Amino acid sequence: MKEPNVDDLLYWLGLAAVAVTAITGVLDAGRKRMDLVGVIMVGTATALGGGTVRDILLDRPVFWLSDQWYLIAAMATTVLSFFLVRGWHLPPRLFLIPDALGLALFTIVGTQIGLQWHAPWLAASLLGVMTGVVGGVLRDVLCNDVPLVFVHGELYASAAWLGAMALILLQAVGVSSVIAAWCGMALIIGLRLLAMAYGITLPVFRGRT
Amino acid sequence: MKEPNVDDLLYWLGLAAVAVTAITGVLDAGRKRMDLVGVIMVGTATALGGGTVRDILLDRPVFWLSDQWYLIAAMATTVLSFFLVRGWHLPPRLFLIPDALGLALFTIVGTQIGLQWHAPWLAASLLGVMTGVVGGVLRDVLCNDVPLVFVHGELYASAAWLGAMALILLQAVGVSSVIAAWCGMALIIGLRLLAMAYGITLPVFRGRT
Amino acid sequence: MKEPNVDDLLYWLGLAAVAVTAITGVLDAGRKRMDLVGVIMVGTATALGGGTVRDILLDRPVFWLSDQWYLIAAMATTVLSFFLVRGWHLPPRLFLIPDALGLALFTIVGTQIGLQWHAPWLAASLLGVMTGVVGGVLRDVLCNDVPLVFVHGELYASAAWLGAMALILLQAVGVSSVIAAWCGMALIIGLRLLAMAYGITLPVFRGRT
């Protein structure tokens, strides 16, 4: 079974995004000297965590319980990369572009599902952002780190949020949902790549308390 | 849309409690050098986390997806305090009394909702306590700290639990739910303020293992 | 009310497993100088966390909201052990065998419930493993540690997963669910005890990135 209203291309992109996200979990878990089971659990939680939280909040069936292929993609990727990444030297920067694609796809699909399940607009945009970033937050909490997405760095969650808002605004003014989705994804990918290329960041909090 | 059986005063108090709780998240996130997005996410999770967990456990619609104003109050407060708190020097003790009010309100509303959704009495009282304290636990986990509410300190969760039990007992002996709610809230606020004034604490665990 | 399709023996074993698991939470919370409320909350979360996550993912009523005795068993055990463990010197190894029993029981009951709620086979086996280990993960996250089950050590989650798969395979080839359940539990307990006796471990991830 597929995600509703997402065509075949998006379905395969979704599986690919799940796989890419799982690898970022594996790399992080490796730094904490986790064993095979720990790596599988952290990688799978990273890949599926965002969509799971979205589905629980919307009280809709959890996507990897309806369609087991997401789970198989996540677990197979973690097992493969557990054995492969030990042998090869993969520069982390290699994953930044697939990761931006995954962020864009997860965010737009999440926002769209939020709207379909009648979440109000601001809540729907946040559900989209959560679909995109909660997996990474879970990864960092399980690895006992401060979540990377919260600390100072190039635009990430903010790029996702702007893309989600673009999707909602374009649909509100009558643009078809397919075109709005592509525009939203392009905006997220573009902002993220620009932010990495030019080091664009948000202000940091410096409280005196 | 409003929380069921809570009158206008409680609704506005609820929005105010959400805002106050968000600020405690902002102050904590600030200490970890988070950027604007990190601060918004931690502040919002602190403000809405307790009620969200309660609603998921009871399998009832998540309150900020039904009524977006809670979400707007939490996010607007975090954004405002992000920019304001940097400029002003606000002593943390300033927030202790509003925080006690928020704890009392969240706990009593949470317990009442638990009872309405047919949770057994002990479970309902714990759902109330969770509504009051889980936001802060989430804040500390996201900031990679041991949750403040678990470590040695003045009565906090215990004050909330006694207030929740007072609400349940008073209703069981026939007191109207409105009067029972005010008594429960007064008990929580009173215990919390007394505990802070006189340094009342619970015993600490000192295992030999 | 009881868990469906679990007879009286399993029900009492379940309550016992909840109690044993709560104690591991108490011991961990004690090392962080938590007070009585912190210990109760961490102990209860450890005991009930796995089943709670399973029930939320399956969108079925949370087990300790349907049957309060699980909650009472968990809380009573934490309170008792808070006061007793301070006085006695209990070697942690004392808990390893009851803990293996609890892991086996939680995993098999969780897998069985997953199958009954029509989760696909791989997802059902993971729901079983989660029922067995998520409580401990929650305990370690709340105590601000890297979850013990992820780091290098004797087979634990992997033993649980093999037992869950045995249950599913045996049922698929026509073995009655009661016999399959006992075989699965025996496999988990056997693997866990063998792993502890002979120091059997899984490979550790050693990435070069």
CA nearest to A55 within chain C: C57
- Looking at residue A2, its pLDDT comes to 46
Using CB atoms, which chains have 3+ pairs under 8 A with A? Answer: B, C
Is C95 among the domain residues?
A: yes
> Which residues have a Cβ under 8 Å from the Cβ of B139 and sit 6 or more positions away?
B24, B25, B28, B29, B42, B45, B46, B49
Q: Spell out which residues of chain A touch residue B85, defining contact as CB-CB under 8 Å.
A: 205, 207-209
User: How far, in Å, are A55, B79, B193, C55, C135 from residue C58 at the CA level?
Assistant: 11, 36, 42, 5, 17
Is C120 among the domain residues?
A: yes
Q: Spell out which residues of chain B touch residue A58, defining contact as CB-CB under 8 Å.
A: 65
- Looking at residue C205, its pLDDT comes to 66
Which segment, A67-71, B77-81, B164-168, is predicted with the most confidence on average?
Answer: B164-168
d(CA C133, CA A142): 13
CB burial readout C160-174, b (16+ within 10 A) else e: bbbbbbbbbebbeee
pLDDT higher than threshold 60 for residue C19: yes
Considering CB atoms only, which of C56, C62, C141 is closest to B141?
Answer: C141
Helix (H) or strand (E) holding B76: helix B69-87
Chain A: residues touching B (Cβ < 8 Å): 56-59, 119-123, 126, 137, 141, 144-147, 149-153, 156-158, 161, 201-209
Which segment, B23-32, B57-66, B147-156, is predicted with the most confidence on average?
Answer: B57-66
d(CA A129, CA A63): 17
Confidence class for position C3, pLDDT limits 50, 70, 90: very low
Is C109 among the domain residues?
A: yes
User: How far apart are the CA of B61 and the nearest CA of chain A, in angstroms?
Assistant: 7
Q: Provide the mean pLDDT of chain A.
A: 86
Is B209 among the domain residues?
A: no
- Looking at residue C129, its pLDDT comes to 94
Residue numbers of the domain that contains B82: 6-198
d(CA A42, CA A29): 7
d(CA B203, CA B151): 11
User: How far apart are the CA of B73 and the nearest CA of chain C, in angstroms?
Assistant: 28
pLDDT higher than threshold 50 for residue B209: no
**Bigger pLDDT: B89 vs A194:** A194
Q: Spell out which residues of chain C touch residue A32, defining contact as CB-CB under 8 Å.
A: 146, 150-151
- Looking at residue C16, its pLDDT comes to 84
Chain B: residues touching C (Cβ < 8 Å): 56-59, 119-123, 126, 137, 141, 144-147, 149-153, 156-158, 161, 201-209
Is C208 among the domain residues?
A: no
**pTM score of the predicted model:** 0.88
Confidence class for position C101, pLDDT limits 50, 70, 90: confident
pLDDT higher than threshold 60 for residue C28: yes
Confidence class for position A130, pLDDT limits 50, 70, 90: very high
- This model of the complex carries an ipTM of 0.84
User: How far apart are the CA of A129 and the nearest CA of chain C, in angstroms?
Assistant: 20
User: How far, in Å, are A125, B68, B144, C77, C178 from residue C25 at the CA level?
Assistant: 37, 37, 19, 10, 31
Is C209 among the domain residues?
A: no
Is C203 among the domain residues?
A: no
Q: Spell out which residues of chain A touch residue C209, defining contact as CB-CB under 8 Å.
A: 27, 30, 85, 89-92
d(CA C193, CA C152): 17
> Which residues have a Cβ under 8 Å from the Cβ of B208 and sit 6 or more positions away?
C85, C86, C88, C89
Considering CB atoms only, which of B145, B151, B207 is closest to C35?
Answer: B151
Q: Spell out which residues of chain C touch residue A85, defining contact as CB-CB under 8 Å.
A: 205, 207-209
Q: Do C145 and A143 touch (CB under 8 A)?
A: no
Is B118 among the domain residues?
A: yes
Q: Spell out which residues of chain B touch residue A144, defining contact as CB-CB under 8 Å.
A: 144
Q: Provide mean pLDDT across the span A2-22.
A: 73
**Bigger pLDDT: A153 vs A180:** A180
Q: Provide mean pLDDT across the span C155-182.
A: 92
> Taking CB atoms and an 8 Å cut-off, how many pairs form between chains B and C?
102
Q: Do A57 and B56 touch (CB under 8 A)?
A: yes
Q: Provide mean pLDDT across the span A180-203.
A: 91
Q: Provide the mean pLDDT of chain B.
A: 86
Residue pair A92/C209 in contact (Cβ under 8 Å)? The answer is yes
Q: Do B157 and C37 touch (CB under 8 A)?
A: yes
- The pLDDT tens digits for B114-149 are 999 999 999 999 999 999 999 989 988 888 888 888
**Bigger pLDDT: C111 vs A99:** C111
pLDDT higher than threshold 60 for residue B2: no
Residue in this structure with the two tokens 């996250």, named with its chain if needed: C141
Considering CB atoms only, which of C58, C123, C203 is closest to A36?
Answer: C203
Lowest mean pLDDT among A39-53, B37-51, C2-16: C2-16
Percent pLDDT > 70 in chain C is 90
- Looking at residue C81, its pLDDT comes to 85
DSSP state of C94: G
Q: Do A209 and B143 touch (CB under 8 A)?
A: no
CA nearest to A29 within chain C: C205
Query: Can you give the C-alpha Rg of chain A in angstroms?
Result: 17
- Total domains in the fold of chain C: 1
Lowest mean pLDDT among B36-40, C48-52, C115-119: B36-40
Percent pLDDT > 90 in chain A is 46
Considering CB atoms only, which of A141, A158, A209 is closest to B141?
Answer: A141
Q: Do A207 and B27 touch (CB under 8 A)?
A: yes
d(CA A185, CA C50): 36
Q: Spell out which residues of chain B touch residue C91, defining contact as CB-CB under 8 Å.
A: 209
- The pLDDT tens digits for C61-100 are 999 998 899 999 999 999 988 888 766 666 667 778 888 8
pLDDT higher than threshold 50 for residue B208: no
Q: Do C90 and B149 touch (CB under 8 A)?
A: no
Quote the crossing angle between the two packed helices B121-142 and B157-172, to the nearest 10°. 160
